[in-house]
Amino acid sequence: MFKTPQEMADFMKSFTPQLKTNKNGYEIRTKILEMAQNEMWQDFHAKVGAYESSIKKEGNEIVTKVTYPENHNVEAILDTANKFYDFVENSQKKSNTEA
């Protein structure tokens, strides 16, 4: 097995999680894109839960109309991500000017 306690400690270091305090730009943008996508899905699911249906009589016929919410496309998700990113940038600029 291990001959010295130091060998065991070195072996166990490989199993401990590495703590990174700073994220690079790619990680930040990926996280913001993930947040935007989650926001859009939550919005879509809320609208699905409250979709509109109506029943009317037109003449001798009964007409049922169901209005289902639109599914969001990539452009909508990117617009939301840009709003989140602008918020982060503006918050950073404000904190730098206050310091």
Tens-level pLDDT at each residue, the chain (99 residues): 778 888 888 888 888 877 777 888 888 888 888 988 898 888 888 877 766 667 777 788 888 777 777 777 888 888 888 888 888 788 766 666 665
Whole-angstrom Cα Rg for the chain: 26
Q: Is the residue at 80 inside a domain?
A: yes
Q: Which residue has the tokens 């009589």?
A: 57
Q: What percent of the chain has pLDDT over 70?
A: 85
Find the domain containing 54 and state its range.
25-98
Q: Is the residue at 60 inside a domain?
A: yes
Q: Is the residue at 6 inside a domain?
A: no
Q: Is the residue at 85 inside a domain?
A: yes
Residues 6+ apart with CB under 8 A from 39: 80, 84
Separation CA 27–CA 33 (nearest Å): 10
Separation CA 20–CA 90 (nearest Å): 24
Full-prediction pTM beyond 0.75? no
Counting the structural domains of the chain, the total is 1
Q: Is the residue at 19 inside a domain?
A: no
Q: Is the residue at 10 inside a domain?
A: no
